[in-house]
């Protein structure tokens, strides 16, 4: 294994690539009493239409990546996967996000070989029946229904539906009831074949144990397996219009007070991962100065009942979708929207002395991430797949200055906007769109 010491982070990482293409990273934490292992794939909810080098396209139903994650937890060699990990004194879990799927366990046991073998085995061996797929559909659909019964979750889902008409970000990670019902055994088999090859995978281990020993365990496990040839894939580009899908969406739910989002769909640019992250940080700092207690007007907004505890913003500057979203709890949407619009026009100059304070805060968050092994591992996985390192983030924050804040204020295009409201239901009231 090759070792890399990062003086800036005071961290040592050991790297290896096995003959079958599996990449291994051991984040060596000598004071850790817990060992965690994460097997990750750059395949998530957004990868709905893939193509190979020959131009063959592979379309998948929304929710297919999440469905595949569910099915991999089926019985492995006749035994329940979670129960087997429990017998080994391990906690096991998995998640599917927009861009990746990750399977992981953690344990305080020093006997790491059996759980590490089990992680690699149950994720790399896929054998399901059509009957089990049909049974799983009802479980996932119930999961989706429960998710949509939560007001905040429903609000965010409806917001993305309002902003985007074509891009797969408009779909829930789990898909919809219709798309889940359309998924077949054959589709899941193809998802697995195309995306779960070792050459696509990254095994991250956070541990105080000998990195060479950990690598040897993984190497021995992989040497005993054969895999089909690797197929290099890319995503088929989706043409998303600049305009929003829906300017106004009102949803009725049984809640105590209405919630809303006021969002701006931004025009994407062809930027590197580093430059996109830089732009996102500029936007976040700009909005943090304006829409938090740093702004002297913030307390008045609370006193005047314009905003409440449920208030904030979100910024997403990804490869092919950009947006800024404000969310809050209010019965007076016009006053809330006027607050957002007028504040965005505010002269930022009096607030710039707080820029250094904000930068220190975010740098502190970045360094603290190293102390939480789950956060550290997930950040490393996402950095690996996107080529944006933690030290890049630190550099971006350190270099951010007042001129960046002024620049981002001028580039924030509020032309394409959507309002989504989750309001208190009344008898006979239906959802509305404009």
Detail the DSSP E strand segments found in 166-255.
Answer: 202-207, 233-235, 248-253
User: Angle of helix 355-368 relative to helix 273-290, nearest 10 degrees?
Assistant: 130
CA distances from 275 to 292, 314, 319, 388 (A): 25, 18, 11, 10
pLDDT at 201 over 90: yes
Q: Output the CA torsion sign for 364, 366, 370, 375.
A: positive
65 sits in which H/E element: helix 64-72
Average pLDDT, the chain: 95
Residues 60-104 pLDDT 10s? 999 999 999 999 988 777 778 999 999 999 999 999 999 999 999
Kindly report the pTM of this predicted structure.
0.94
Beta-ladder partners of 94: 103
* Residue 425 clears pLDDT 90, i.e. is over it: no
Local confidence band at 167 (pLDDT 50, 70, 90 cut-offs): very high
Question: Tokens for 3?
Answer: 């070792």
Check if the beta carbon of residue 189 is closer than 8 Å to that of residue 125. Answer: no
Taking only Cα atoms into account, the Rg of the chain, rounded to an integer number of angstroms, comes to: 23
Residue 120 in tokens: 């690699």
Helix (H, G, I), strand (E, B) or coil at 283: helix
pLDDT in tens, 225-272: 999 999 999 999 999 999 999 999 999 999 999 999 999 999 999 999
* 3-class secondary-structure state, position 47: coil
Examine the pLDDT at 50 and tell me if it is beyond 70: yes
Asked if the domains at 2-235 and 248-433 fall in one CATH topology, the answer is: yes
Cα 104 to Cα 81: distance, rounded to the nearest angstrom? 12
* Site of tokens 């930027």: 271
pLDDT of residue 429: 55
Above pLDDT 70, what percent of the chain? Answer: 98
Element (H, E) at 53: none
DSSP 378-411: HHHHHHHHHT--HHHHHHHHHH--HHHHHHHHHH
Strand order through the sheet with 49-52:
57-59, 49-52, 233-235
Domain 248-433 part of CATH 3.30.830.10: yes
Q: Which two three-digit tokens encode residue 316?
A: 């997403």
Residue 428 has pLDDT above 60, yes or no: no
Sheet bearing 322-329, strands edge to edge: 311-317, 322-329, 259-266, 417-424, 248-253, 432-433
In this predicted structure, the answer to whether residue 413 has a pLDDT above a threshold of 70 is yes
Measuring CA to CA, which residue among 170, 171, 174, 169 is closest to residue 140? 174
- Over residues 129-152, the mean pLDDT reads 95
Task: Please compute the mean of the pLDDT values over residues 274-279 and round it to a whole number.
Answer: 96
Q: What are phi and psi of 331, to 5 degrees?
A: -100, -5
Residue 127 has pLDDT above 60, yes or no: yes
Q: Is the pLDDT of residue 432 over 70?
A: no
Domain boundaries, the chain: 2-235, 248-433
- What token pair was written down for 161? 């539906």
Residues 336/338/344/350 CA torsion (nearest 10 deg): -90
Whether 102 contacts 381, CB under 8 Å: yes
Take residue 69 and report the two structure tokens written for it. Answer: 């994650």
Are residues 325 and 416 in contact, defined by beta-carbon separation less than 8 angstroms?
no
Among 71-85, 128-142, 315-329, 390-404, the least confident range = 71-85
What is residue 432's DSSP assignment?
Answer: E
**Where residue 150 falls among pLDDT bands split at 50, 70, 90?**
very high
DSSP string for 87-131? HTTEEEEEEE-SS-EEEEEEE--S--HHHHHHHHHHHH-----HH
Cβ atoms 70, 125 nearer than 8 A: no
Angle (nearest 5°) at CA 98 between 92 and 103? 15
Residue 48 CB neighbours (<10 A): 22
Rounded to an integer, the average pLDDT of 264-288 is 96
Q: Please give the pLDDT value at position 412.
A: 87
Is-contact 389 277, C-beta < 8 A?
Answer: no
Higher pLDDT, 205 or 430: 205
pLDDT digits (tens, 9 = 90+) for 180-199: 999 999 999 999 999 999 99
Q: Quick one: what percent of the chain has pLDDT higher than 90?
A: 91
**CATH superfamily placement of domain 2-235:** Metalloenzyme, LuxS/M16 peptidase-like (3.30.830.10)
């Amino acid at each position: 294994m090759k070792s890399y010491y990062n003086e800036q982070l005071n961290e040592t990482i050991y790297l290896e690539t096995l003959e079958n293409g599996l990449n291994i990273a051991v984040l060596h934490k000598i004071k850790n009493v817990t060992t965690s292992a994460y097997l990750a794939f750059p395949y998530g909810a957004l990868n709905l239409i893939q193509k190979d080098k020959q131009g063959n396209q592979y379309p998948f139903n929304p929710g297919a990546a999440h469905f595949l994650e569910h099915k991999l937890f089926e019985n492995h060699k006749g035994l329940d996967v979670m129960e087997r990990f429990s017998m080994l004194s391990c906690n096991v879990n998995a998640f599917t996000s927009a861009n990746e799927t990750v399977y992981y366990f953690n344990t305080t046991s020093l006997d790491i070989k059996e759980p590490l073998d089990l992680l690699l085995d149950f994720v790399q061996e896929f054998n399901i029946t059509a009957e089990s797929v049909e049974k799983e559909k009802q479980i996932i659909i119930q999961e989706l229904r429960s998710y949509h019964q939560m007001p905040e979750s429903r609000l965010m889902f409806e917001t993305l539906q309002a902003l985007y008409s074509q891009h797969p970000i408009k779909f829930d990670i789990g898909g919809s009831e219709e798309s889940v019902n359309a998924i077949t055994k054959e589709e899941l088999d193809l998802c697995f074949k195309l995306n779960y090859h070792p050459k696509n995978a990254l095994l991250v281990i956070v541990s105080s144990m000998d990195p060479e020993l950990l690598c040897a365990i993984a190497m021995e496990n992989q040497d005993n397996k054969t895999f089909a040839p690797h197929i290099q894939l890319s995503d088929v580009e989706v043409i998303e219009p600049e305009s929003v899908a829906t300017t106004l969406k009102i949803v009725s739910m049984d809640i105590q007070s209405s919630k809303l989002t006021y969002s701006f769909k931004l025009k994407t640019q062809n930027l590197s991962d580093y430059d996109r992250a830089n732009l996102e940080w500029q936007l976040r700092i700009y909005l943090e100065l304006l829409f938090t207690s740093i702004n002297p007007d913030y307390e008045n907004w609370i006193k005047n009942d314009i905003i409440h505890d449920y208030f904030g913003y979100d910024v997403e500057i990804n490869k092919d979708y950009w947006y800024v979203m404000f969310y809050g709890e209010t019965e007076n949407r016009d006053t809330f929207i006027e607050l957002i619009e007028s504040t965005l026009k505010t002269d930022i100059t009096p607030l710039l002395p707080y820029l250094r304070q904000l930068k220190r805060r975010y740098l502190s968050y970045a360094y603290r991430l190293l102390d939480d092994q789950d956060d550290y591992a997930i950040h490393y996985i996402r950095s690996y797949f996107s080529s944006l390192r933690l030290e890049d983030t630190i550099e971006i924050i350190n270099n951010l200055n007042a001129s960046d804040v002024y620049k981002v204020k001028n580039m924030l295009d509020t032309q394409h906007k959507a309002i989504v409201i989750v309001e208190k239901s009344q008898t006979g009231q239906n959802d509305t769109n404009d």
